[in-house]
Structure 1
Amino acid sequence: MSNNTQQAERTHQPSSQNPPRPDAMGFLREHWNTAAPFGALIVLVVVFTLMNSTFLTKNNGLNILSQSSVLLVLAIAATFPILMGSIDLSIGAIVTLSASVCATLAQQYGAWVFLLCPFIGLICGLANGLLVSYAKLPSFLVTLGTSFTFVGIAKFVTDGRPVPVAVSDLSQWFTGSIFGIPKVSLWAVVALVLTTLIASRTRLGRYMYAIGGNELTSRLSGVPVDRTKVYAFLLTGFLAGAAGLLQVFRVRSSTPDLGDAFLLLAVAAVVMGGTPLSGGVGGPLRTVTGVLIITTLSNGMVIGAVHPFLQTVVQGLVVVIAVAVTLDRKKLDLVK
């Protein structure tokens, strides 16, 4: 081979010192689950601001912050089962049960009984976790069944009637504001920080991601899958009970349908935030974006005077679109 030919081949060989520029479309596809929710949130803010100038104001911003707080705690609760490729459909029922039981007991024993709300949720989460992990039942069916059970117990305890919650020293910890920021929002931030640390810095968090990525491979690698699922549902139940505590003080009453509206919104927020139902990726921080999308959408439609029934239609369509966009079609065994 001539020297000219060898020199030409060396000229056409890619240099390790000058790697090719990354493909923009490839980068977008790789980070789609993160970029898309932020883009959707920005679009919503722009659209609603153009529709009504009162949308982008300080007072409405604080209103959105307050509205999103309880939903954020409950959406974080829903994040952990979904992160494993499972699902918990009983989180709304846990909100109702924990609030109803504590509101009933508080009439006799005082408001400090409400601190038991997260632990009532913990018991509910334990029941779900044991049935899913050791009875080997699908999480979808287990939590669907236990949701009816929890709501039934709540209605039995309260005789199906609303239970008013009186103002007390304890309620001052969860109502009002500090430096203009609603206290309920600060509690939601505390929950977000703690759960983010659990998901990113602990062995339990790494195990949940691994199970969501591939449960069989995780078992073969020595991951305690059954025990991890129990812990995840325990955490979910505890957070759902905490959401019940925040919500009952927020509305000053416990009703038989207190948590009904939260289930669809919480699952939608998780999926829209970038944690797909197939599991393995995502986490609490991404859920924040989904919660803001849901709350901004709801708030904007109210300000825009959209009919309440049509608001429900829009929210349902948004959930379907979010699932379609985030679903990993290589992993069609969605609910494990």
Structure 2
Amino acid sequence: MPLRVVMTKSLDLPDEANLWDVSDVPTMVVTQRGARKSFQKILASKGVEVVEFDILNPRDVMEYFHDRGYLSIMWECGGRLAASAISDGVIHKVYAFLAPKIIGGTNAQSPVGELGMVEMTQAFDLLDVCYEQIGPDMLMSGSLQPIPDPTPIIPSENETLAIDPTVNPYEPSIIFFYKTWDPYGAFSNFSAHSIKMPEENGGNVTWSSVEHYYQASKFMGVSDSGAKDCIGKIKSAKSPEEAAKVGRSMQRLHPNLVRADWEDVKIDVMYSGLRCKFSSYPYLKSMLLATSGSVLVEASPHDLFWGGGREGEGLNYLGRLLMRLRSEFLGESSTSSESTCLAL
């Protein structure tokens, strides 16, 4: 018999709804542990099964249903959850309805949320695509290629000890981070944590995220007015994703506006931004320190410099810088950073 499943972190749902009618189909709610205990009792009285997860995410939910013997699950969800499920690699086939209507707008919702892609070359291809007309609509279906878990490049023993002496190079535990909604999503440059950094003229400027600051730094110190325009566009970007898109696009289209020493200083620039971020927010610093002894890997399948890559071919420099920062915070590094940061 089919099972209807409602996935919600907060359980912020109405007490009375057709969803809770179990006369036709059994219903289950999966939620974050501790969410609205009183409402959980109400649901139980209606015959709705409630399952709590320590950290609610699509991968753990699918593993749970696999253990219970379910072989096929259809996800019907909004863009944010769809993106999370795709990123977790739990979506194998996609069904998309195309309606003969046009809708848009600056704040218009997307059927799939943030996947960290800014170029068409990064798009996931569907295989064995089929089309079927249903009334005025078209139903497109296709299989999604499996997204492999990136196997990180673990530094050698000497490299590991140089980055962070707390890591056991022989039996390292690995912590992945990538999407901002992941358990360690706050480690991402795209997390919504503003930082305040020194400005060229001696003042201070607040950046909406580390990604904003990093992208804008590509054009700092260049006298051309076009470079200043680039900085302004990046600073006013409404999201880290938009800032990354603008910065990368400008770098590709106008390489003459990029500071001449960028390749030499970009790692130091990133480290300055990270140090400011984790120094400005005590809970982020505590979160980073709590990972002591583990290898940190940005699980980006696309970025082979800052991330681990799709098949572990990436250099994982973002993870390495976070481990270096962690070591400095722990007081176990023999060198100290000269980065400047102003507390927010």
TM norm structure 2? 0.23
> More relative contact order in 1 or in 2 (CA 8 Å, sep 6+)?
1
- TM-score normalised to structure 1 length: 0.23
- Relative to its length, the structure with more helix (as a share) is 1
Q: Which has the higher strand share?
A: 2
